[in-house]
């Protein structure tokens, strides 16, 4: 983040606001001394205009004379995402086409959050009105080992519980499963749960019409929180089923 720019901008805004308040008060004092009969009417009009300005700021989030931020378009969204990320001190790197395989994307970035979670951000050609924000979670070796020791029924129940809790938390996700070849280590192998090369794709698309630095960072923070939630749910569920085996 450019701290020099931030302090300069903050200082200039404070100076402008102080001058505006002093100037306004001086003008009202001058009017009262020159035309005392009309001073209450003028003061009432100024008060009314102030109330309207506050109402407009509350509704639009922008001051009347403030500069309107540039519109986010398909032409500048890539540069904006890079700028928003860097403004907030996060690491961002352009990803290769192999990472975006099958996505048919215009561009893609890998953003590394303060939590070290990596988030894929891209704009696909198919759903070009949205910025796709995704993170792929894989089961850890510890969790895979637990899952492989469960019976198929227990493993299915555990996966269902995890997905149910994610639904309750209103987490957007896609389950991706790839079954390994059948285990041939003995007569009891078929009673074991298959070894899942399983991933959970956490996804939080952002509409281009709503895209700005605030909404973009909100989506990144939300998906970061959801990653932690999924990890906690998965860990507690699989460890509970593991204890049932003992």
Task: Report whether pLDDT(178) > 50.
Answer: no
Q: Is the dihedral of CA 133, 112, 229, 158 positive or negative?
A: positive
Residue 110 and residue 95 in contact, taking contact as beta carbons nearer than 8 Å: yes
Whether residue 201 is found in the same domain as residue 121: yes
Segment 70-129, tens digit of pLDDT: 788 888 999 999 999 999 999 999 988 777 766 788 899 999 999 999 999 999 888 889
- Total domains in the chain come to 2
What CATH number does the domain containing 107 carry?
3.30.1460.10
Greatest Cα-to-Cα distance within the chain, rounded to the nearest angstrom: 104
- Residue 11, pLDDT > 90, answer no
**pTM score, two decimals?**
0.66
User: Could you tell me the residue range of the domain that residue 35 belongs to?
Assistant: 3-60
Cα–Cα distance between 9 and 4 in angstroms, integer? 8
Same structural domain for residues 213 and 113?
yes
List b or e across 209-221, with b for residues whose CB sees 16 or more CB atoms inside 10 angstroms: eebebeebeebbe
Do both 205 and 160 map to the same domain?
A: yes
Domain check: are 23 and 92 in the same one? no
Question: Is there a domain that residue 108 lies in?
Answer: yes
113 with 17, same domain: the answer is no
Q: How confident is the model at residue 147 (pLDDT cuts 50, 70, 90)?
A: confident
| Inside any domain, residue 109 | yes
Phi, psi of 173 (to 5 degrees): -155, 165
Quote the pLDDT of residue 141. 86
Q: Which two tokens stand for residue 136?
A: 């792929």
Based on the fold, state whether residues 202 and 128 are members of the same structural domain: yes
Whether residue 4 has pLDDT greater than 50: yes
Q: How many residues does the structure list for the chain? A: 246
pLDDT number for residue 139? 83
pLDDT tens for each residue of 182-225: 333 333 333 344 434 468 889 999 999 899 999 999 999 999 99
88 in the same domain as 24? no
Q: Are residues 86 and 207 in the same domain?
A: yes
């Amino acid at each position: 983040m450019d701290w020099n720019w931030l302090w300069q901008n903050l200082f200039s805004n404070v100076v402008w606001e102080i001058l505006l308040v002093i100037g306004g008060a001086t003008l009202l004092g001058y009017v009262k001394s020159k035309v005392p009969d009309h001073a209450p009417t003028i003061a009432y009009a100024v008060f009314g205009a102030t109330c309207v300005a506050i109402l407009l700021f509350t509704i639009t989030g922008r001051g009347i004379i403030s500069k309107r931020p540039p519109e986010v378009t398909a032409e500048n969204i890539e540069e904006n995402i890079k700028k928003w990320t860097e403004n907030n001190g996060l690491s961002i790197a352009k990803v290769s086409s192999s990472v975006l395989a099958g996505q048919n994307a215009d561009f893609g970035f890998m953003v590394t959050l303060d939590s070290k979670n990596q988030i894929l951000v891209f704009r696909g050609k198919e759903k070009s009105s949205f910025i796709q924000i995704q993170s792929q979670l894989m089961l850890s070796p510890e969790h895979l080992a637990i899952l492989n020791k469960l019976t198929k029924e227990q493993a299915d129940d555990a996966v269902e519980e995890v997905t149910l809790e994610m639904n309750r938390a209103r987490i957007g996700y896609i389950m991706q499963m790839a079954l390994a070849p059948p285990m041939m280590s003995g007569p009891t192998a078929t009673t074991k749960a298959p070894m899942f090369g399983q991933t959970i794709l956490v996804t939080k698309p952002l509409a281009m019409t709503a895209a700005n630095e605030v909404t973009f960072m909100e989506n990144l923070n939300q998906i970061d929180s959801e990653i932690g939630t999924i990890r906690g749910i998965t860990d507690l569920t699989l460890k509970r089923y593991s204890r049932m085996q003992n």
